[in-house]
Structure 1
């Protein structure tokens, strides 16, 4: 579960409710007690419940019941019930609904990819990238986790991931490999990954194998100076399986991630090649789920 600050919850509320529910106030019904049910018109995986619950509570509503994130909903199923005054319910209405229909869409598309990948290779995980809409990373991470995926990389400060742009500043892959002992010594508690093409991946795997042999021959006197994993960018599926086999033959410990163009339609095929993970942005483009509410007066 992603931790959101109270200030973040307030921000989500203020975007839609800067002051009051003017309509309920003008109609004179703002203080009347009522109940509101959230339901889905289509099957989906629920996400956003923790966020919506906190929004509703902040607005003075009581959460009578709510299903947990990750629940697979059927069309027509109710998943949250709130009680409060007409003003409180109307203030919570759209803010919570927007959270639910957008996050549940992401969770649903994520689950499709997770299921497809696991059916072909139970050891292959879906990893969602940082290529998401600015300003909503926390909500999208919440949704992808509800769908069964893991965040690939939450930001530049988190993981040592070398891209082709970095290699160009260093003089290319050969220069990078030459400097790996120094680079490795600075990765004290972080894993070192490199995004590469097929040829570069094989060069790194050869280097890893040589490092392993040198360490064994020296009985640990020589520090291991390889990479922990490679991210294969836009390698065609029909080439990937053979490449994975070749990389594993050189370095069985190497973590292999496929990236570039991975989507619900091909996730299973990519996973079947034997990679450890699939890095993807696909869940972030999910179409919002069709959800709605029913309100009624109490008393």
Structure 2
């Protein structure tokens, strides 16, 4: 799968806001006090644990907002699997800017690499089946485009980006409409010809109702593996099947084996652990010697 980079306009405002939050009202008074304005330095981003890299362009943006003269050379680009101690990128430029941009750059890089790593764990578990791992709208407010990019870097796919992507009828929609049939019929009357409709079902009886009406996809929520197998057989290719509900790397393999098309997991974006990445100083004089 080709990993297309995000356009700068999609992340520059987010990075700018984060860096401004760190700079406060007086800027980096520590770096300004200690480091001469003309001092140059080189640093390396180094993995401290195994994982998948995501967010190097965002990290570069943070450093270059601190000083446009900073350069970042990726040694292990986004989507790369890295081992502890492996150098991910080399960064050179004005020392003050490197120190000023360090925390903002690492906050983004470690978080997004954590999302990519979590995604990759599910992708690995589902390997050998047709199931694709996808994320949800359970994202950090303001970071959705970045986190969904990180999911792609980890080998996963994206579910809806927002409420306007597609119609997803969930339990509360059905409750307010009165029943599944009414909810779906209203959705079909409202949707444009390019808008897909998916319905969340909790039971095989609900699935039977939805299939009789006809929709594009069914979200099989918190079903047992046996129920998922029956649901796939009942659907018979008439709709895309998506399994969801407390799915982990330990359970994903068995769920994927049921034959579902998609496995969606919210935790890969909202609860993944940050990947530990350090920024280490390079002594250029010692290296030259």
Give the TM-score taking structure 1 as reference length. Answer: 0.85
Contact 1:33–1:298, Cα closer than 8 Å, also in 2:
no
1:87 and 2:87 correspond: no
| Aligned match of 2:240 | 255
| Cα 1:64–1:260 shift into 2, 3 Å | closer
Q: Is the 8 A contact 2:35 2:95 kept in 1?
A: no
Determine which structure has more spread, i.e. the larger CA radius of gyration: 1
Aligned mate of 2:86, from 72, 77, 84: 77
Q: 1:241 aligns with which of 229, 237, 247?
A: 229
CA-based RMSD: 2.0
Q: Structure 2 unaligned runs (5+)? A: none
Hey, what does 2:276 align to over in structure 1? 290
Match of 2:200 in 1: 195
CA apart distance, 1:59: 2.2
* Residues 16-55 of structure 1: pairs in structure 2 closer than 5 A: 16-18=22-24, 19-55=26-62
- Cα deviation, 1:197-232, whole Å, max 9, x if unaligned, reads 22111122233xxxxxxxxxxxxxxxxxx2111111
Instruction: Name the CA shift for 1:246/1:65 in 2 (closer, same or farther; >3 Å).
Output: closer
1: CA distance between counterparts of 2:245 and 2:149? 23
- C-alpha distance in structure 2 between counterparts of 1:28 and 1:78, whole Å: 25
Matched with 1:13 is 19
Distance 2:119 2:86 in 1: 20
Q: Paired residue for 1:186?
A: 191
1:90 Cα deviation from its structure 2 partner: 0.2
Structure 1 unaligned spans of 5+: 208-225
Give the stretch that moved more between structures: 77-86 or 11-20. Answer: 11-20
Q: Structure 2 CA distance, aligned partners of 1:176 and 1:99? A: 40
Alpha-carbon distance in structure 1 between the residues aligned to 2:262 and 2:150: 19
* Contact in 2 for aligned 1:49/1:67 (Cα 8 Å): no
Q: CA deviation at 1:54?
A: 1.8
Give yes or no for contact 1:101–1:290 (8 Å, CA) kept in 2: yes
